[in-house]
Structure 1
Amino acid sequence: MPPPKPAHLEPSELGTKDYWDNLYATELANHASNPEDTGTVWFDDADAEAKMVQFLAELDDEDNLNARTILDLGCGNGSLLRAVREEIFADGAPGEEEGTELRLLGVDYSEASISLAQSVVDEGAGDNEDAEEAVPITFTVWDMLQGSASDLVQDGKESACWDLVLDKGTFDAISLGNTTRDGDAENNGPSVEVQYRTQVLNLLKPGGRFLITSCNWTETELCAWMEDEEERERAAQNGGAWLVKAGRVAYPSFQFGGVQGQTVCTVCFEKRVAPAS
């Protein structure tokens, strides 16, 4: 028997669109008044963004990243994509012989978030000019639960899916909302966590990586949500896809009551696809 899924988190205002619209409207106004104020970098106290980028850079150094198309889910002010571009594409775009158009895209369901992220990128303060010119970052409004993955996949082709999908706190926010898309826990529909995993699978290329950071779920709980054994068995039999853990980021840990833990966790998953029969 596969392990049971964790219990849904207690709903919070952080799981509502109104909360994020209001927060980013404030940050957008602050940025307009002071361009050096680019907004909040989430999980900065744990240095999570830098650790995510370092993890990707190490894969890149080993020629194991192979990510020319990168999607950031719930991009906020766009800081994670800017950091990835600065590190991975510091010398500009790789050669054309790679054969795939470079795409760095940030999506968020808050229009104010997208406006802030686009404004910061357009101003380009402190960015590496080579990377900025050769590897543009674009942003668009898109809802992880209400949108269709096909909106973000060029021509709807599997080959146009994403090499790398990033998440720093978005799964947390979704998990703090209603238990189902319609807010009806009794409708027997898939939970928002299951809907989220399905979207990630639809967005990723076979072999693509998904790097996620959470402060509300432990590493074990994240794996319970993302590595679904029943889904894997069905996929293996019927020709489908599933996620498997492919790495993790180490953070300083603490011990309380005899239990060891950490304030955030970052886990990398890879999309596997059953071979054609």
Structure 2
Amino acid sequence: MPPPKPAHLEPSELGTKEYWDKLYETELANHASNPEDTGTVWFDDSDAEAKMVQFLVNLDDEGSLHARTILDLGCGNGSLLRAVREELFADGVPEDEPAPRLLGVDYSEASISLARNVNENGEDDDNEVPITFTVWDMLQGSASDIIDTEGSLPADGWDLVLDKGTFDAISLGNSSTPQEEGAAQSVEVQYRAQVLNLLKPGGRFLITSCNWTETELCAWMEDEEERGQRGAWLIKAGRVAYPSFQFGGVQGQTVCTVCFEKKVIEA
């Protein structure tokens, strides 16, 4: 029997679009007055971004990543995608390989404006791999908006999907939203379904959270019912190790990072 799903987090202003719009409007203004101020790098105190990138570099060195299309959910100022590009595509891409596609999405227009401005101001002329940013709502948008058959976006899904704190924010909002059929659905379940929509078969999903433990993330993301209902599901495929602490006889850590892989039933 699969483990029970964790309880939805207590709602907070950090789960509202108004909070993030206001924050990124402030950071956008700060960057305009001082281009060296690129905004907040979330979970910087845990060095999460560097650890996520190193995890991906290790997979790439092993030859098991194959990530040429990379999507960052809730990209903020775009720092994670820039760090990924710097490490995975520092030497560019051989001419006989398909051009990489790096896309950051966020539901806050101010966030996307900040990411674009920071990217333009700090563009590495020696790196020919572009990063693009667009406004897109993880829960309200359709995966088809960022997956197409025109050649400019992946036609069968993304090789790699990233999340550094976005699932946390979603989990701090309303516990459910109405669906077209009329029945409300847990935002966490919607999130997992959208990740499955976005990933190609065999694609990787790397997520970092400060509000959920590794066990809780696995309880949300791994769901055997998806196998029968959709023929596609997520399984844990790796984790990032962080320093742990002891408090009250219980061992823990401030953040966790887990990698999942999309599996599909072969036709």
TM superposition score normalised by structure 1: 0.91
In the alignment, is the contact (CA less than 8 A) between 2:164 and 2:208 conserved in 1? yes
Query: Structure 1: how far apart are the matches of 2:176 and 2:105?
Result: 21
Question: Is the 2:149–2:155 contact (alpha carbons within 8 Å) kept by the matching residues of 1?
Answer: no
CA RMSD of aligned residues (A): 1.7
Task: Give the corresponding residue for 2:187.
Answer: 192
State the SS of the aligned residue for 1:83.
helix
Distance 2:225 2:202 in 1: 20
> Are 1:35 and 2:35 counterparts?
yes
Which residue number corresponds to residue 18 of structure 1?
Answer: 18
Unaligned runs of 5+ in 2: none
Asked whether the equivalents of residues 178 and 185 of structure 2 are also in contact (C-alpha less than 8 Å), the reply is no
Instruction: Please state whether the residue corresponding to 1:129 is helix, strand or coil.
Output: coil
* Cα shift at 1:119: 0.2
Which string of whole-angstrom CA distances, capped at 9 and with x for unpartnered residues, describes residues 214-250 of structure 1?
A: 0000000000000012223x15xxx610000000000
8 Å Cα contact 1:2/1:230 also seen in 2: no
2:158–2:200 Cα contact (<8 Å) kept: yes
Relative to structure 1, the CA distance from residue 97 to residue 120 in structure 2 (aligned partners, 3 Å threshold; closer, same or farther) is: same
SS at match of 1:209: strand
Taking the aligned partners of 1:201 and 1:160, their CA distance within structure 2 comes to: 12
Aligned residue among 120, 125, 131 for 1:137: 131
Letter in 2 for 1:72: D
Poorly superposed stretches of 4+, deviation over 6 Å: none
TM-score, normalisation: structure 2: 0.95
Aligned pairs for 1:1-277 within 5 A: 1-92=1-92, 94-98=93-97, 100-124=98-122, 128-131=124-127, 134-155=128-149, 159-182=155-178, 188-232=183-227, 234-235=228-229, 240-276=231-267
Q: Do 1:70 and 1:104's aligned partners in 2 also have CA atoms closer than 8 Å?
A: yes
- Report Cα offsets for 1:169-223 as digits up to 9, x if no partner: 000000000011249xxx7522000000000000000000000000000000000
Whether the 8 Å CA contact 1:212–1:268 is kept in 2: the answer is yes
Q: CA deviation at 1:144?
A: 0.3
Would you tell me which structure has more helix in proportion to its own residues?
Answer: 1
% same residue: 80
Residue identity matched to 1:163? D
**Aligned in 2, Cα 1:119/1:260: closer, same or farther, shift over 3 Å?**
same
Query: The residue matched to 1:155 in structure 2 has which SS?
Result: coil
Aligned pair count reads 263
Contact 1:11 1:176 (8 Å CA) reproduced: yes
Between the aligned partners of 1:220 and 1:129, the Cα distance in structure 2 is 42
Deviations 1:247-276 (A, max 9, x none): 000000011122111000000000000011
Shift of 1:128: 4.0
